[in-house]
Amino acid sequence: MNELLSLWLESGINYIWPLEVAAGNDAVALRKQYGKDLILGGAVDKRALLKGREAIREEVFYKVPYLLEQGGYFPSVDHLVPPDVTFENYCYYINLMREVAGLEKLPFR
């Protein structure tokens, strides 16, 4: 994907989703390289949701606050949520994302 980004931007394509972490995509590095010319979606490694609260928290806080502050970012997992993610881990992820976005007063389960 990185080899195509300049061509996409030149032709008016400026939104990427899913921004798959397992494929080597780094949203923070892309934001630093392209600024707000490139709109990003996803970027939270879905595999962290399988590993538990500490991994989820680390993944979210490494990326999401910075990307939200910079703008041009739609926070979500980097693709679909795997079916083996526990409901508890998913609820924790959603509430953590709400906290980071300043929406913690709207609890999810």
More confident position, 108 or 82:
82
Query: What per-residue confidence (pLDDT) applies to 9?
Result: 95
Whether 109 is in a domain gets the answer no
What confidence tier does 20 reach under pLDDT thresholds 50, 70, 90? Answer: very high
Q: CA angle at residue 57 from 98 to 91, to 5 degrees?
A: 50
**Domain total in the chain:** 1
Taking residue 9's Cβ as centre, other Cβ atoms within 10 Å add up to: 13
Whether 106 is in a domain gets the answer no
- Give the global pTM: 0.87
Tokens encoding 84 = 């083996």
Query: What per-residue confidence (pLDDT) applies to 103?
Result: 77
Q: Please give the residue range of the domain that contains residue 60.
A: 5-100
Whether 107 is in a domain gets the answer no
- The percent of residues in the chain predicted with pLDDT above 90, rounded, is 86
Whether 108 is in a domain gets the answer no
